[in-house]
Amino acid sequence: MPTNNLQLPSDNLLVSLQKYASRPNYNPLENFITEAFAWLLRNNSDALNAFLKLIDTKYPLHFDFENQRLKRCETQFYLDSGIADLVLFFDPYAIVVEIKVRAGGRQEQVEQYKESLHRLGYPNVVSVFLSPGFSYQSENADVCLRWSEVYKALAEGAMDDRRLEFLGFLDSQELAPGLDLDCAAFAYAPKVYSTFNNLTGLWKRIAGRLNQTNNHLFPRSFYHDAWGRQGIMFKRSDSKDADWNPALTIGVLYDPTDHGYEPITKDCGSVFMMTVDIGKSFFEQIRVSSKWQKFKDDVKKSCAETEGKLAGWRCFDSKEYHQEHGGQFNEWHPLAIYKPVTELLAFRPNKQLFYNTDEIEDIFEQKTKWLLETVSAMPSFIDVLDELNSENQNSM
């Protein structure tokens, strides 16, 4: 059949994508997802209604979804405050959507787009920030949505090929909902934790993001799973383990045997913790260091005080405990700041201790950043770093 007799679609997704040519240091993934999503909303009324109903649960739109006609759906829409990713025009509403996949957002960006649309004569504008929902991704908006919420909304009801294709695309980019995990299994029986393969990928993703942030005290960070703990290790240099001066590890303790932390898990089950790791090159220095003692005292005080920075957390001084109660003290891991996992992943009436892996990832990442920032800001900890750093330089 001759080409000029074909009824070609006027809304062609491939034509929309051709303008995003690849170039060095540029990943057009967000543009691809934006164009694919816009194309789906323009060409699939069920998908459009599902998206509108999702927004309506968070910000009532007060119109009939089934009979609402989408007048225009624009991507890369130029405004006097910038270029909006996606704008849906209805009567009487416009919905402006800022879309993120890996990047963070500017706090007021989508709200500025909303004001620009007001100036163009659209009095009823709803601002939406759509992202995976990582802790570093936040903007002021009328509605903040996760891609996993959009996925669930689009997956409801009778399925069609167009929605299936888009859902498959989201899944390929790890934007689909994570699995629900029965966290009680590893919270109350710590060694079960190591059987949850999903948690390995979770920590690796957190490590990848943290590696992009430059902490001047601990410029080296990486995924770590050893000695009964899994999480992120932070180091001051690429030194060997014997030269930790100190290193910090933040993550979940699931087997206390190596560290000599049995008293913690006996009472609490799995714990989310920060351990201060000391290399054997510094054992003698730490044993007599008044600065190390001052840091430990400050941590204990901060945990115990209602208004302390570490209020609600607990401190385990391994040397002190084992001197009083007996048992083996591991000098490599002398101090831990911790909370039971059950206090981070609380029991919920409807879901009990079932948590989606997206939720777990977000909570673990937030607490990792918070612990690192809080302890790093303690003056007595800075004194320890200075003392061990100068000792290390003197021994070279």
d(CA 213, CA 208): 9
DSSP state letters, 325-363: H-S---TTS-EEEEEEHHHHS--BTTTBTEEEHHHHHHH
With cut-offs at 50, 70 and 90, classify the pLDDT of residue 104. low
Question: What is the distance, to the nearest Å, from the Cα of residue 345 to the centroid of all Cα atoms in its chain?
Answer: 15
Please check the confidence at residue 3 and state whether its pLDDT lies above 60. Answer: no
pLDDT value for 390: 55
For 119, other C-beta atoms within 10 Å of its C-beta total: 10
Q: Is 112 helix (H, G, I), strand (E, B) or coil?
A: helix
With cut-offs at 50, 70 and 90, classify the pLDDT of residue 191. confident
Backbone angles phi, psi at 46, to 5 degrees: -65, -40
With cut-offs at 50, 70 and 90, classify the pLDDT of residue 10. low
Please check the confidence at residue 136 and state whether its pLDDT lies above 80. Answer: no
Helix (H) or strand (E) run with residue 373 in it:
helix 357-376
- Pick 63 or 119 by higher pLDDT: 119
Helix (H) or strand (E) run with residue 170 in it:
helix 161-172
The residue with tokens 């739109």 is: 61
DSSP state letters, 225-265: EETTEEEEEEESSS--GGG-SSEEEEEEE---TTTT-HHHH
Question: What is the distance, to the nearest Å, from the Cα of residue 176 to the centroid of all Cα atoms in its chain?
Answer: 15
Find the mean pLDDT for residues 346-375: 87
pLDDT value for 65: 64
Question: What is the distance, to the nearest Å, from the Cα of residue 4 to the centroid of all Cα atoms in its chain?
Answer: 51
d(CA 218, CA 282): 18
Find the mean pLDDT for residues 207-231: 88
Query: pTM here?
Result: 0.66
Torsion of CA 119, 121, 125, 127, to 10 degrees: -40
Please check the confidence at residue 54 and state whether its pLDDT lies above 80. Answer: yes
Q: CA angle at residue 180 from 179 to 182, to 5 degrees?
A: 135
Find the mean pLDDT for residues 238-262: 93
Find the mean pLDDT for residues 170-174: 80
Average predicted confidence (pLDDT) for the chain = 85
d(CA 136, CA 138): 6
Please check the confidence at residue 9 and state whether its pLDDT lies above 70. Answer: no
pLDDT value for 2: 42
Please check the confidence at residue 364 and state whether its pLDDT lies above 50. Answer: yes
**Lowest-confidence range among 66-70, 96-100, 319-323?**
66-70
Find the mean pLDDT for residues 107-121: 90
Question: What is the distance, to the nearest Å, from the Cα of residue 59 to the centroid of all Cα atoms in its chain?
Answer: 25
pLDDT value for 278: 96
pLDDT value for 6: 41
